[in-house]
Amino acid sequence: MKSQIIFETEILLVRRLKMSDIKPYHEMQSNPKVMQYVIGEVQTEKEHLIELDRLINFYDKEGNDFWIYAIDRKLDNEFVGTLAFIKDDNRDDEIGYRFLEKYWGLGYGSDLCKASVVYCSSIGMPKLIGYVINLNVASAKILKKCNFDYVRDGIDPDSKLPEKKYQLLL
């Protein structure tokens, strides 16, 4: 079995998801404020159980290009959110992150983004892409703080909302 821990910072730990994450995962995924910038409607806990199982099974799938990890606060091992590395439509490596609302504004996003850049560079990714819905000002600030450059404006194909594309060459 591969290590459950992917990387860590002084305050956060990024690890593989596990089925016991269902309660905080569902809390995060069913919060309309958290989900306002992503596709989909709030789902039931049963639907999230199925989704969580699917995400966990991706870890061992040959050729997987859809990695969703748990983010824990090291202080108390509390689940605070998820980190995603996925291939976008151009086969570029895209970063995405989501936090439970009660952990917004605590600097976790910036801490995570900086460490993700180091991690992705260490495994040979040539660049990272970030797509941010225009209304999600906090997420855009995080990417800019981590030296991502603005690339272009566009429309998110799923939500149909205006978005900006950012890029960081590693």
Q: Which residues contact 81 (CB under 8 A, 6 or more apart)?
A: 28, 70, 71, 97, 98, 99, 100, 103, 108
- What are the pLDDT digits (tens) for 56-100? 999 999 989 999 999 999 999 999 999 999 987 778 899 999 999
Count Cα atoms within 13 angstroms, Cβ side, for 55: 23
Q: What is the pLDDT of residue 89?
A: 73
Contact status, residue 67 vs residue 55, Cβ threshold 8 Å: no
Question: Has this prediction a pTM greater than 0.85?
Answer: yes
Model confidence at 18: pLDDT above 60: yes
- Residue with structure tokens 């910072």? 9
Per-residue confidence (pLDDT) for residue 158, from 0 to 100:
82
Q: What is the pLDDT of residue 40?
A: 63
Flag the least confident range among 30-39, 62-71, 147-156. Answer: 30-39
Q: Which among 166, 164, 76 is positioned nearest to 129, based on CA atoms?
A: 166
Answer whether 14's CB lies under 8 Å from 71's CB. Answer: yes
Contact between 6 and 14 (Cβ < 8 Å): yes
Mean pLDDT of all residues belonging to the chain? 94
Question: Is the Cβ–Cβ distance between 118 and 168 less than 8 Å?
Answer: no
Name the 3-class secondary structure at 45: helix
Classify strands 66-73 and 78-87 as parallel, antiparallel or unpaired.
Answer: antiparallel
- pLDDT for 1 beyond 50: no
**Domain locations in the chain as residue ranges:** 5-169
Q: What is the distance, to the nearest Å, from the Cα of residue 117 to the centroid of all Cα atoms in its chain?
A: 13
pLDDT in tens, 5-15: 999 999 999 99
Mean pLDDT in residue range 36-51: 86
CATH class of the 5-169 domain in this structure = alpha beta
Q: Kindly state the tokens that stand for 80.
A: 């605070």
Q: Would you call 12 exposed, middle or buried from its count of C-beta atoms within 10 A (0-12, 13-18, 19+)?
A: buried
Q: What share of the chain in percent tops pLDDT 70?
A: 98
Q: How confident is the model at residue 3 (pLDDT cuts 50, 70, 90)?
A: confident
**What's the confidence (pLDDT) of residue 22?**
98
CA dihedral 7, 12, 14, 19 (to 10 degrees): 150
